[in-house]
Amino acid sequence: MSRPTPVALFDLTGQVAVVTGASRGLGQYFARALARAGADLVLTSRNRATLAPFAAEMENLGRRTLSLELDVLSLESIEKMAADAEAAFGAIHILVNNAGMNIRKPALDVTWSDWNQILDTNLRGTFFVAQAVARRMVAHGYGRIVNIGSVTSVFGYAGLAPYGASRGGVRQLTMSLADDWGKHGVTVNCLAPGWFRTEQNKVLYEDSAWVEYLVDRIPVKRPGEPHDLDGAIVFLASEASRYITGQTLLVDGGISTGSTRATVAPKK
């Protein structure tokens, strides 16, 4: 039997990818990368209308695109999204569990409500979206789930206590789900971006001193640009990663090599 070429392993033609939180930021870059590799798309937002321009761009690429409303804080909304996606396309092959939020605060100022909002969105939401979609993937015996984590899945940062707890949880959840669903042909991995300039952290990037501090600690000497994630998302969504599950792939210019703290050396 002839095997696909290594490059063909990355081809997503005929696959259907659900990308949550596709109204802006990294979600749109993930969706675009998957579409350019051949996938049809289910895009979600709490406000479906905001997806229209991006959905039109994806349709122009020749991809079938369905825009759905999804609030990951509502189980009913999650179930409806998964059911509508499957009804429209027949199957879901790829899930990018990207919807998320953050509230940056010193730990002493974090409120009960901040904690619940962050954990409920990033961790509980990620789990129940994965569960609703995986139920359908298991029935078809195939799936690729990519949970979006963060460098904070692995390292601690001041001002990000609940966020880091949620992202650490996503990493741990990824391992448990991989163990649970591997026998059904469903792989589950975590893509953990470093520091990327998007709406969520735009205030940080307005502070040139912070950007200088950050870049100093990134071995490749620049912040992440969203296209730096294209290869990793297509890899984890495709046949190319078929024997990889439960893993966290950090795409961070090397900030996780340990230099975060180690480069506090005096400037020459």
Ligand X SMILES: NC(=O)c1ccc[n+]([C@@H]2O[C@H](COP(=O)([O-])OP(=O)(O)OC[C@H]3O[C@@H](n4cnc5c(N)ncnc54)[C@H](OP(=O)(O)O)[C@@H]3O)[C@@H](O)[C@H]2O)c1
Residue 75 in 3-state DSSP?
helix
Given 142, 163, 205, 213, which residue is catalytic? 163
The residue (of 9 and 204) whose beta carbon lies closer to ligand X is 204
Residue 173 in 3-state DSSP?
helix
The residue (of 98 and 174) whose beta carbon lies closer to ligand X is 98
- Is 243 marked active-site? no
User: Whole-number minimum distance, CB 63 to ligand X, in Å?
Assistant: 19
User: Whole-number minimum distance, CB 47 to ligand X, in Å?
Assistant: 5
User: Whole-number minimum distance, CB 74 to ligand X, in Å?
Assistant: 8
Which distant-in-sequence residues (6+ apart) come within 8 Å of 247 by Cβ? 174, 178, 189, 190
The residue (of 2 and 47) whose beta carbon lies closer to ligand X is 47
- Which residue's entry shows tokens 């490059």? 7
The residue (of 35 and 99) whose beta carbon lies closer to ligand X is 99
Burial state string for 53-65 with b = 16 or more CB within 10 A and e = fewer than 16: ebbeebeeeebeb
Q: Look up residue 206 and give its two tokens.
A: 């307005």
Choose among 205, 197, 191, 170: nearest CA to 235: 191
User: Whole-number minimum distance, CB 100 to ligand X, in Å?
Assistant: 2
User: Whole-number minimum distance, CB 48 to ligand X, in Å?
Assistant: 9
Length of the chain: 268
- Annotate 196-248 with DSSP letters as a single string: B-SGGGHHHHT-HHHHHHHHHHSTTSS-B-GGGGHHHHHHHHSGGGTT--S-E
The residue (of 157 and 216) whose beta carbon lies closer to ligand X is 157
Chain residues binding ligand X by CB under 6 A are 20-21, 23-27, 45-47, 50, 70-73, 98-102, 121, 148, 150, 193, 195-196, 198-201
Check if the beta carbon of residue 225 is closer than 8 Å to that of residue 196.
yes
- Active site residues per annotation: 163
